[in-house]
Structure 1
Amino acid sequence: MFEISLGMLPILFLFSLGIALFHTFILSGIFNIRLKPSWVMFVIDPAILGIAFLFFQKESGFIFMGLFLSVFVMGIIGIIKQGIQSTIESFREQRKKKTPVWKIVGGALLALFAYLAFFYLGIYSFFLIFSVIILSAILPNTTNRFYFYQRVLPTSTIQSVAMGLAEISGKAKAIQPVTSPDTDTVCVGYIYTVDQISTSTDDDGRTSTSYHEISRKTNLNNFYIEDETGKIEIIPDKLQWISFSPTHSREDGSRRYQEFILDEKTDFLLIGQAFYEGSTSIFRFDEGKKVFGIAPLDIVNFANKWRPLKLRALTTLACIAVLAAMILFTPITMNGNTMVIEQRNWKQILKSNPFEGIFNR
């Protein structure tokens, strides 16, 4: 058996406090469980380790491994829970926005594929979940594409910007200023959103609030970006606002109203296509690279500063998660003091009927 020695116990007690921290984050952040008191897991997890050491010493090592792996099990269950809720909410929003039927059907088929994968692959299907999460972070979208090109493109001055895909920075200058609807702010442009507020109460009486966007209005005319060398006109068609925070937010009944302001005081970074129109240069959507975005310069600098640390942290967590999943899902038996790792029969798994356990009850 896998026993915990007295010398290992203090170190594992400290480790159990780290496990308690993750348990607290998962239970309160993902499952919305109100822990009373909030530090209760910092008592429960070390207590489980202490009880295992005192009363189940031969199995104490396995109990600690179970405590450690429970973090990943709870995290995976939480991801599935949030994924289901997000899918349901997305479906409702798509129906409101009259999304084409083929897109909804395609999403349903993907969900059915994931459902069948659970039956065919069993607990190994969790690896599929990790793959989907990784792919969703890698596959192109507006934000990923913007930050990808931002990392590889040099920032050009406006006077010397070359035609084609380019990155520029400077302050926005209005050609035809607009006025925001909620605060009457005169600005270069704005996005005005209205969200539906939904509240729910769990069994412990804890109330959670969620917001669902029901309308969005963008008002932005042609404008200039100006640096110390000159200015260039921006054609805002298909311009994506990246990493903007609301400058104003208020709630009224079951609605939340927010304004996102493009002002003349903030430094912005833009990525798009520099193009000659007549005798002047303009900046517009790049049809080839499918990118045209604007983001506050300080947010971009902050993202670049912390990106290496974030990548290292994500790589470490991914390695730990994969290793833990392999330990948890690999068939292991104990033969005396020998640990036997069994081989998975993939042919039998793939030939099995995924619905056999449902209809033969």
Structure 2
Amino acid sequence: MNEVFNFLNQQDINAPILIFLMLFSCGIALFHTLIFSSLYNLSIRPKWLFFALNPILIGLGYLYRPGYSLLAFAFLFASVFLFGLIGMIYSGIIQSRQDKIDQKKFDARYHVPKSNKLKNLAMSLGFLAMIGLGIWLHSIGKLSLLLVIIPVLIVLDAIFLPTRRSKFYKFQAILPTSKMNGIAMGLVEVVGDLIEINPILSPHFNTPCIGYAIRIEKRSQDSDGKTTWSTILRDSKTGNFKIKDDTGTVMVNGEGLEYYFDRVDKETESGDKRYYETYLKHDDYIFLIGKANSLNGDTVIERDDYHKVFGAALPHEIAIKNKFAPLYKSFFTTLFFITLLIIYIVIT
């Protein structure tokens, strides 16, 4: 350390070099201003603060001892990297905190449910199990068996773990359509016009309605600059309402009602997100499946917790689906057996 000070004490800095150091320090001042204003989010007042401070520090060093102007310059130069590194860490921490705050606000506004950790763990374990199975089959020279195992697992999943949508259309195909004055207790299928009781507000557009379904997509870009949109939220909420036909009116407890139609009533794009909302409104003509119960002598349709089905659809979409359902079934059955035949040929 003494050698450094001795070196500085021996330096004779003339006026041209001093002026050069002061001018160069103004260039360093530009980096200081950018670092503190962007990374530390500080409002520099006056904006020329560092452009005055940096040359002053070099001048003060020169007045103390001419060689110390070099020390001041070296400190200013090194401070760019030091403050820049600290600033990146600091801004990263602040941004992480702000992202958490923004996410909490987003979750609260759009009623985002907490992630199912057990389900996520099960999916991760299943994925790892498939990788392990593939490695083991490769080690024994029978990797081609995956071509049989994967389709079988897909079929078993469709049979034993059907989605709510598939359950809805399954019951739609077998349940008779009931009239409002002749509803029996249990799982029922009805079609009629909706009557609003107490409207609710949709979360994004603040539209009054009987119920709403919302879908939010987020934009992302890959390393090649290709833009893709992924769904980050899909939710629905429905209040109580009535449904009527030419024979009468029935109350519906809308809690847990799911929407099985593709209509979009309002949409917008803001920043890196797109928002879509679909509404149930007064006088909408709707197809409904749910469980009929008796409450104080009155019939109420609500969610069936046993069959896990409670959904609404548009009657004309149901009619189209029923018209083409046999064709779809024949097509996918044929495709399945052709796939099995190809797998058999590949394996043998």
TM range (shorter): 0.5 to 0.7
The alignment partner of 2:261 has SS state of coil
The residue aligned with 2:85 is none
Q: State the alpha-carbon separation in 2 of the partners of residues 163 and 97 from structure 1.
A: 32
The residue aligned with 1:170 is 192
Change (3 A) 1:217 1:324: closer
Aligned pairs for 1:30-41 (under 5 A) are none
The residue aligned with 1:197 is 219
The residue aligned with 1:156 is 178
The residue aligned with 2:280 is 262
The residue aligned with 2:163 is 141
The alignment partner of 1:274 has SS state of strand
Equivalenced residue count is 231
| AA partner of residue 220 (structure 2) | S
The residue aligned with 1:131 is 152
What does the per-residue CA deviation read over 1:282-323, in whole Å, with 9 as the maximum and x for residues that have no partner? 111123322211111122221111110001110111121111
Aligned pairs for 1:1-361 (under 5 A) are 98-118=114-134, 119-120=136-137, 121-138=142-159, 139-183=161-205, 185-200=207-222, 202=224, 207-214=226-233, 218-330=236-348
What does the per-residue CA deviation read over 1:6-53, in whole Å, with 9 as the maximum and x for residues that have no partner? xxxxxxxxxxxxxxxxxxxxxxxxxxxxxxxxxxxxxxxxxxxxxxxx
When the two chains are superposed, the root-mean-square deviation of aligned CA atoms in Å is 2.3
Amino-acid identity (%):
31
| AA partner of residue 229 (structure 1) | T
TM-score by length of 1: 0.59
Change (3 A) 1:188 1:99: closer
| AA partner of residue 329 (structure 2) | L
TM-score by length of 2: 0.61
Q: State the alpha-carbon separation in 2 of the partners of residues 173 and 253 from structure 1.
A: 37
Q: Relative contact order: is structure 1 or structure 2 higher (C-alpha 8 Å, sep ≥ 6)?
A: 1
| AA partner of residue 280 (structure 1) | D
Q: Is the 8 A contact 2:198 2:241 kept in 1?
A: yes
Greater radius of gyration (CA): 2
Q: Is the 8 A contact 2:236 2:258 kept in 1?
A: no
Q: CA deviation at 1:326?
A: 1.3
The residue aligned with 2:76 is none
Q: Is the 8 A contact 1:164 1:275 kept in 2?
A: yes
The residue aligned with 2:65 is none
Q: What stretches of structure 2 of length at least 5 have no aligned partner? A: 1-111
Q: Is the 8 A contact 1:239 1:294 kept in 2?
A: yes
Change (3 A) 1:315 1:192: closer
Q: What stretches of structure 1 of length at least 5 have no aligned partner? A: 1-95, 331-361
Q: Is the 8 A contact 1:172 1:265 kept in 2?
A: yes
Q: CA deviation at 1:240?
A: 1.7
Q: CA deviation at 1:217?
A: 5.8
Q: Is the 8 A contact 2:237 2:255 kept in 1?
A: no
Q: Is the 8 A contact 1:235 1:282 kept in 2?
A: yes
Change (3 A) 1:319 1:247: same
Q: State the alpha-carbon separation in 1 of the partners of residues 293 and 313 from structure 2.
A: 20
What does the per-residue CA deviation read over 1:194-228, in whole Å, with 9 as the maximum and x for residues that have no partner? 332223364xx7x34222324x5644220011111
The alignment partner of 1:155 has SS state of coil
Greater share of residues in helix: 2
